[in-house]
Amino acid sequence: MQFAPVLHAEWLKIRTVRSLPGALCALFAVTTAFSAVAGADGASDPESDPLFTALSGVAPGQIAAVSFGAMAVAAEYHDGALRLSLGAVPQRGRWFAAKATAIALPVLLVGLLTALAALLAARAGLGGAASGLGTAEQVRAVVGCAVYLTLMALLAAGLATLLRSGAATLSVLIPFILVVSFVIGDAAGTAADFLPDRAGQAVLRQTPEGTLGPWTGLAVTALWTAAALLAGAWSLRRRDA
């Protein structure tokens, strides 16, 4: 079977599982709302990074992106759905590539809209504190934000394929994002800059503070994502549906 009809079939699955469009709506709503609040609070702090403040809603919002990626794959492990999918598309690598693409494209699109809305909402609160932001910096942050959210969704998808469970994936990734990165990460020094979430979020800063720059940080996150997808693909090839 050609790739295009496989991709179309996987997109139809995502559209018809109610929780998945809901996760994308949550991504938009949570990120924009938290960024708007942060913009209003950050207007009085002259030492804060206005660009990172404007997009700080990505920190809670990324949980929705991770949930989207995990649930899109986990749905295949309910009621023998994966056996049906692989029966229709025996080429497991092609099917997995189509699944990953069907996850990445909507997250990328919603991520672009979300980042733009969050930036505009936060700028209204920041007022003059945002006057120093250049157009190139803001475009880089919006595009980088969308790419980062897409990479995190694919990271979750790869891990869900490996673990064969959405609940197990979320129980690993969400504490990692909320606890390890912010609590243990501060004690780990520069090593924490290479964690997938902290590395990728360097693209949201006007002036990155850590070891990595905006695009090198995203590259590190992409390596984490590639490792998760390769592990998932290996598991899919080696284990029975």
pLDDT of 123 > 90? The answer is: no
As a whole number, the mean pLDDT across the chain is 88
For 213-224, write each residue's pLDDT tens digit.
899 999 999 999
Separation CA 228–CA 103 (nearest Å): 14
pLDDT of 61 > 60? The answer is: yes
For 29-49, write each residue's pLDDT tens digit.
999 999 999 887 755 565 678
Please list the alpha-helical segments (H only) found in 43-164.
Answer: 50-54, 58-74, 81-88, 92-126, 135-163
Query: How sure is the predictor about 168, in pLDDT bands with cuts at 50, 70 and 90?
Result: very high
Query: How sure is the predictor about 210, in pLDDT bands with cuts at 50, 70 and 90?
Result: confident
Contacts with 59 (C-beta within 8 Å, 6 or more apart), sequence order: 34, 201
pLDDT of 111 > 90? The answer is: yes
99, exposed or middle or buried, with CB in 10 Å at 0-12, 13-18, 19+? buried
pTM for the full predicted model: 0.93
pLDDT of 241 > 60? The answer is: no
What residue segments make up the domains of the chain, in order of their start? 3-238
Contacts with 74 (C-beta within 8 Å, 6 or more apart), sequence order: 160, 164, 165, 166, 167, 169
- CB 156, CB 173: distance < 8 Å: yes
